Structure 1
């Protein structure tokens, strides 16, 4: 079984060494560096499955580096932040991070979040897979290939999705026309007992809604049900 490769981008040497030793003990391949600039050659030289990305970095901060990574296909991202303001966590998710963990963090919680994010298949140049061999979910002209987080618009263009957005879309597709509460959306997409603020759920829904609207801002594939949650409107067929 191939070991997952995790890159730690953290300028605090003690935290970097702690995480490297911990992840290697848990069976991962761990690389570490102190800045976004030093991370770039590592990412270019080998396959990295997930980046643990500190927000407060010298030079380009974690938010900026997250934005750069999301301009193209890349590894999954978990932000490490000592900033406890909800808006900072929202910014990370808005830029495309798959998850965030606040410092000081519990190593067991971090491990659980890493494993949860790694369960989402990544689409990378080093792991190609033909969409013709994958199951596809179709709705309103869209074609969604959940195994590799691949969404094609009605006009044939690729719609980029983060891991969290793809998980959410899959839950909606499997529960089309059913009202789902925020708690149900968390449990179905992340697992029961996963701690995430309702505001973050609303943010993910908002981001996904914008991507599905595309060139038609009036399209409402995800309907907000006041006080109850959300409902995915279109019919979904599976092939």
Structure 2
């Protein structure tokens, strides 16, 4: 029997500005979220060690240990949603934070209503990812065309017994396609599905990794029969797929 928790989601906010911590704590608490605020990376680690956290709000500009280092460590340890706080002119910080695995960002000063909306969106996305991850975890292998991908062994073999080596990123992208065949997937969707396998896949590298995948599974990579480009929309895996559970 599935047990449904009545506890509201728990948000952990790290910012060295007491006024911002108070604003976040008061507004989110008024909107039925549990909130813990901290001022340092050490305090954040202590809370993470004792409590279950659903979303982390992380200021990237911190004295001492910077937010980039903390974001990198959080992403290495878990898939917890991370919402960055940055200054308006810190575009390089935003780009780096997203590449390190942060899920969204807000620039200071920010609207509390927008903060709440973004947190709720991250919570919905995390719940949907957990559902997809549970379904994918039950799949032993995928079969398409003359290929079989053993998920547990991360091994791709053709019908004639040929094994093809895949990088972590290629494996995760191929699994993302096979879990949603004959559906157009945007780059954002491919990124989210790829993160289920803790792969280092970034938006700017998706096209390159798809090109490499085509060279490995397509008989004619210049005219792909499996991974098709849908211009202005994304990519589509255009073949029937059998999932073995």
Could you tell me the TM-score, scaled by structure 2's length? 0.63
Q: Would the aligned equivalents of 2:182 and 2:240 in 1 still touch at CA under 8 Å? A: no
Q: Would the aligned equivalents of 1:56 and 1:62 in 2 still touch at CA under 8 Å? A: yes
Task: For 2:153 and 2:108, locate their aligned partners in 1 and report how far apart those are by CA, in whole Å.
Answer: 37
Corresponding residue SS for 2:45 = helix
Q: CA deviation at 1:89?
A: 1.6
Corresponding residue SS for 2:76 = coil
Give the unaligned 5+ runs of structure 2: 1-5, 157-164, 193-200
Aligned with 2:69 (options 56, 60, 64): 64
Q: Does 1:230 align with 2:234?
A: yes
Aligned with 1:173 (options 165, 168, 180): 180
Q: CA deviation at 1:70?
A: 1.1
Could you tell me the TM-score, scaled by structure 1's length? 0.64
Task: Flag the 1:175–1:89 CA change in 2: closer, same or farther, 3 A.
Answer: farther
Aligned with 1:79 (options 69, 81, 84): 84
Alignment of 1:1-239 (within 5 A): 1-121=6-126, 153-154=154-155, 173=180, 176=183, 178=184, 204-208=202-206, 218=215, 228-233=232-237, 235=239, 237=241, 239=243
Corresponding residue SS for 2:11 = strand
Q: CA deviation at 1:228?
A: 3.1
Task: For 2:202 and 2:36, locate their aligned partners in 1 and report how far apart those are by CA, in whole Å.
Answer: 30
Task: Flag the 1:108–1:211 CA change in 2: closer, same or farther, 3 A.
Answer: farther
Deviations 1:141-189, CA, capped at 9 Å, x for gaps:
5589xxxxxx9844699959xxxx99xx58x93654x5x7xxx7679x9
Question: Which deviates further from its counterpart, 98-107 or 203-212?
Answer: 203-212
Task: For 2:31 and 2:115, locate their aligned partners in 1 and report how far apart those are by CA, in whole Å.
Answer: 12
Give the unaligned 5+ runs of structure 1: 145-150, 191-202
Task: For 1:141 and 1:24, locate their aligned partners in 2 and report how far apart those are by CA, in whole Å.
Answer: 49
> Over aligned residues, Cα RMSD in angstroms?
4.5
Task: For 2:34 and 2:8, locate their aligned partners in 1 and report how far apart those are by CA, in whole Å.
Answer: 6
Q: Would the aligned equivalents of 1:55 and 1:62 in 2 still touch at CA under 8 Å? A: yes
Task: For 2:150 and 2:107, locate their aligned partners in 1 and report how far apart those are by CA, in whole Å.
Answer: 36
Larger Rg over CA atoms: 2
Total equivalences in the alignment: 204
Task: For 1:132 and 1:97, locate their aligned partners in 2 and report how far apart those are by CA, in whole Å.
Answer: 23
